[in-house]
Each structure stands twice: as C-alpha cells, then as structure tokens.
Amino acid sequence: PISHRRAVLEQYFTEVPHRVLLSEKHIIENVASLNKLMARVFSENLEGVVLKSTHSRYEPGKRHWLKIKRDYLAEGSMADSVDLIVLGAYYGTGTKAGLMSVFLMGAYDPAKEQFVTVTKCGNGFTDEMLHDLQKTLKVKRITKSEVPTWLDVAKSLIPDFVVNDPKAAPVWEITGAEFSRASTHTASLSGDQSLGISIRFPRFTKTRPDKSWKQATNVIELERLVQESGKRSDWLDLLNEVSSGGPMKPMTSKRVATKESSTSDQRIKLSRTSVE
C-alpha cells in the first residue's frame, strides 16, 4: 500500500533542498480538512491536489488516485473563463490528422489596432463539432511568410490557417485552470512580450453567437481579469459552499472534460485518504 511505499521513500530518499523533494503529504479524514487544504493550494496558485487511499496499491497501467483541480469543481464555475475570438487553426495529429482540430484564440488590442493571441485550444470539442467546423469556419491556408497584418503572432505559433475576417469570426467561451503569463503569446497590456497573457489547460466551453468581436474580451479586460484572479481570497468559503450539498466530485460533463478527469464518475471517500 501507499503508506508502506511512502515510508520506504522517506527512509532511503535523500532530498536536495530547492531541487529534488518528496511531495507534500497530508492525511485527510473529512471534507472540512480537505477544503481547508485546497483553499491554501488554490490561493498559492498551485494546480490542485491528488487523493490516494492509504490502502491503495500500485498496479502498472492503473490509476488508484483522483486529481482535484479548481476547474473540475462546481461544473467548472470555479475556473477562469474568457470570451475569445477564433483567429486561426492548426492541423491535428493522429486520428485528427488532416483536420483543423486545434484553434488559435485571441483578443483585440485597441492600442495596437491588431488581434493578439492568448492561447491554443484543442480540448472540449465533440467529433461532430470538429467535422462541422471544417465546412463552416471561414479560413484560408497560409505559409510562415503570409501572416496578415491584422494578426500579431509569435513565429512559433503561426497557424496553418487564419480566418478570412477576424471581425466576422466566431467568439467562443474558453475555460481553463487559471490565467498565466506566457512570452509566446502577444496579448499584453504593457507591450512587454514577456508579460503575455494566456490561460492554462484551456478547453472550449461553448459558442457565443450573441457576441461579436467588439463584445469579446479585449486586452484591457484580460489584464483586469488576470489581476482579479490572482487576488482571490475567498477559496475556503467557495469550497465549503460547493461541498455543502454532498460529497464533492470532479466535473461530470463529458463535453468539456479532459483526459485528466477520466475518473469523474468516482465520488471521493474520505476515510483515511492521503493527499499529495
């Protein structure tokens, strides 16, 4: 069981301060203590926690654990979301080879009078939607030297396709674990490329036919959202509210769930659970 494996590690493993460390461990026996721990994790902008039964055994190819991230809780309402414009697309790989299956999402920058990039999104789409997009999304194929003047994009992110007209392009709600800074993206209020705004673990949530490029989130609003997201201090109250209706569980919506949430149909049992 994991309790024995952990004891062996602690006995023989030598930590290297600030470089190689054992994961932090807590024994959780009730929802209140789990909520308190997760509130601390989220307030420190960490990704989440992993729950393991203290009696769980290691089996190759099997996962006897459950990951909890803020975007898995309350049907994703605790995650960060933003309305972005579809600016371009990339060919997929594997079973999606030959299809546009990853999309370049961005916002309008009034100062630059250009559309800037925020993230690439390839999760959350049904097969039916992807096939429809091959016909309905108005795009044109470009080479690395044919980037239109309306698009400010890093060379490493130049898409295979760009939309014909960004002012007529669809607006999609994109949800992710949290906002982040990424030098590869060009959305930046300060103009400093190292302070580009992006979103971690993005996924498509829904289309926004009620919004045009003018109503989509622009760079000024993005910067405000980033600042507000980093200052949130009510995590414990939110987590207590989520769990008050019964045992917490990750998101169950198959449309927006990622591979990481493949255990979404399992409820959390907190009888001697180890959290790492």
- Helix (H) or strand (E) run with residue 224 in it: helix 219-230
Tokens of 139: 């795009």
Lookup result for tokens 């932090």:
24
Structure tokens at 14: 């030598």
- Rounded distance, CA 176 to CA 205, Å? 10
Tell me which residues of the chain have a pLDDT lower than 50. 246-271
| pLDDT for residue 156 | 94
Give the model confidence (pLDDT) of 86-97 as tens digits: 999 999 988 888
Structure tokens at 231: 């200052």
Tokens of 160: 């295979």
Q: Give pLDDT, residue 231.
A: 62
Per residue in 228-276, pLDDT tens? 766 666 667 777 776 775 444 433 332 233 333 333 333 344 445 556 6
Closest CA to 139 of 120, 161, 117, 121: 161
DSSP string, 191-253: --GGG-EEEES-EEEEE-TT--TTTS--HHHHHHHHHHHHT---HHHHHHHHHTTSS------
**Residue 136 contacts by C-beta under 8 Å, 6 or more apart in sequence?**
none
Strand partners of residue 199: 179
Q: Name the residue with tokens 């992993």.
A: 50
- Characterize 29-47 residue by residue with b for buried, 16 or more Cβ atoms within 10 angstroms of its Cβ, and e for exposed: eebeebbbbbbebbeeeeb
What one-character-per-residue DSSP string does 159-192 give? -SEEES-GGGS-EEEEEESEEEE-TT----SS--
